[in-house]
Amino acid sequence: MMNRQVHVKVPRTAKRGEVIRVMTKLNHPMESGWRRRQNGAIVAKDLIGEFACQFDGAEVFKAEFDSGTAGNPFLSFFVRVNRSGRFHFIWSGQNGERYYKAADIEVS
């Protein structure tokens, strides 16, 4: 399922063997469970625990997050591409929720 909360930036084209920059951001509050509201009530913990990027089924990048991660986490990383294919971006939350997005790249 595609999700409007996930933003990705992947070049549409690249040359064979080129190292490309991949960027992704998830709109998510990342609540640690330590913050309190004005009335003293604790804001419930709500964290994204993991991110994975796959290219044609092979994992090319993975990150794990903890309570110190800021809201709306942004990642930027580099991948060498040798063929055309599809990137899959998967953000996984602590409560079992998952957010997906895909992006294609054409390599010449």
Tell whether the model's pLDDT for residue 97 goes beyond 80. yes
Tell whether the model's pLDDT for residue 2 goes beyond 50. no
Question: Per residue in 50-88, pLDDT tens?
Answer: 999 999 999 999 999 887 788 899 999 999 999 999 999
Q: Where are the alpha helices (H) located in the chain, listed in sequence order?
A: none
- Residue 34 tokens, joined: 């330590």
> Given the DSSP bridges, would you call strands 6-9 and 18-26 parallel, antiparallel or unpaired?
antiparallel
Query: For residue 102, with 0-12 CB atoms within 10 Å meaning exposed, 13-18 middle and 19 or more buried, which class applies?
Result: middle
Q: pTM of the full predicted structure?
A: 0.87
Radius of gyration for the chain, computed over Cα atoms and rounded to the nearest angstrom: 16
Where are the chain's structural domains?
Answer: 6-107
> Which CATH fold would you assign to the domain 6-107?
Immunoglobulin-like (2.60.40)
